[in-house]
Amino acid sequence: MKRHKALVVAGAAIVLVGLAVLVSFASSLYEVEDKGRGPGIVPYHSGLVYKIRVLDTFTVYAPEDARPEADKFSGSMLVGATTMTFVALLLLGAAGADARLRRFFAFTTAGLALLAFDEIFALHESIGHNLHFLADVPGVERPDDLIFALYAPALILFAWRFRDILFAYRRATQLFAIGSGFFAIAVVGDLAGTFVDEPAEIVASGFLLAGLAVITAISLRRELNLDRVAASRFAHESQAATTSRGTASRAMSAR
């Protein structure tokens, strides 16, 4: 069983890295031959449409919003994670779970919602562009970098406050450690101005959210007594099957 779980985790990691690389290098896989609105590109009135040659093999037409970007991928993951923790919060509240555990999921949901909103609508960039004086702070080149850095103290405080939940499970801790490693690579890549920062950021987000998913699954299984429900259902189905076989045997004996 442990080997099977390890293979699943390894497979998921390979897929995640592959998707991150694909998103980051997507622009090298196609060439935009033309773009325009309506007739001349497509035989009807439309918004901005791109004529794209993919792998120098075939041509497709796509709207501007279809362009693959790392921010879209990260934003989608954050929205999914926010939904997961919010549903878990509702279920734990209905089950009367431990108040501290519910607070953990409440803060997690709020934080993920903020990050998702920031990723999709460029919140910290917009704030930074309206606070030009922050660029005068020593060591700061872009005001939005300083705004984004303010997330770090809040994250550290949250991790310390709920460390007993975050690091209670070995599998989740391992995923957090791997994610943190890729995040460090992303930071170094960003400071060095290399291409590795975006794919590393996507991979880091994937591992960190996977660790959160492990905590969510374990918490729901324990607080909702899902193991007991599954055992009771299995026992009921086994009893029903035994009764059915006994009835069939008596019927055949009567013949």
Q: Is 8 helix (H, G, I), strand (E, B) or coil?
A: helix
Average pLDDT of the residues of the chain? 79
Continuous segment of H or E residues that includes residue 77: helix 70-94
pLDDT at res. 122: 82
User: Which of 127-131, 142-146, 210-214 is least confident?
Assistant: 142-146
User: Which of 80-89, 109-118, 124-133, 221-230 is least confident?
Assistant: 221-230
pLDDT at res. 92: 95
What average pLDDT does the segment 42-54 reach?
83
* Cβ–Cβ under 8 Å, residues 144 and 124: yes
- Give 18 or 183, the one with higher predicted confidence: 183
Sign of CA dihedral 202, 203, 206, 209: negative
- Give 246 or 54, the one with higher predicted confidence: 54
pLDDT band at residue 72, thresholds of 50, 70 and 90? confident
* Cβ–Cβ under 8 Å, residues 196 and 189: yes
Q: Does residue 250 register a pLDDT over 90?
A: no
* Alpha-carbon separation of residue 42 from 49, 54, 65 (angstroms): 8, 18, 17
pLDDT at res. 54: 77
Q: Determine what percent of the chain is predicted with pLDDT higher than 90.
A: 26
Encode 11-51 in three state secondary structure: HHHHHHHHHHHHHHCHHHHEEEEEEEECCCCCCCCCCEEEE
What average pLDDT does the segment 71-100 reach?
91
- Angle in degrees, 0-180, between the axes of helices 170-192 and 2-24, rounded to the nearest 10: 20
Q: What is the dihedral of CA 228, 231, 235, 241, to 10 degrees?
A: 140
Q: Does residue 9 register a pLDDT over 60?
A: no
What average pLDDT does the segment 161-173 reach?
93
Q: Does residue 255 register a pLDDT over 70?
A: no
Q: Does residue 238 register a pLDDT over 80?
A: no
- Give 114 or 4, the one with higher predicted confidence: 114
pLDDT band at residue 192, thresholds of 50, 70 and 90? low
Which residues is 48 bridged to in the sheet?
Answer: 37
Give the separation between CA 187 and CA 149, rounded to whole angstroms.
12
pLDDT band at residue 162, thresholds of 50, 70 and 90? very high
* Long-range pairs, 101-107, Cβ under 8 A, ≥24: 101/165, 101/219, 101/223, 104/162, 104/165, 105/216, 105/219, 107/158, 107/162
Give the separation between CA 179 and CA 74, rounded to whole angstroms.
14
Q: Determine what percent of the chain is predicted with pLDDT higher than 70.
A: 73
- Angle in degrees, 0-180, between the axes of helices 99-121 and 197-223, rounded to the nearest 10: 150
pLDDT band at residue 212, thresholds of 50, 70 and 90? very high
Nearest to 115 by CA among 205, 191, 196, 198: 205
Q: Does residue 27 register a pLDDT over 70?
A: no
Residue 145 C-alpha from the chain's centroid: 23
Beta strand extents in the chain (DSSP E only) = 30-37, 48-54, 58-63
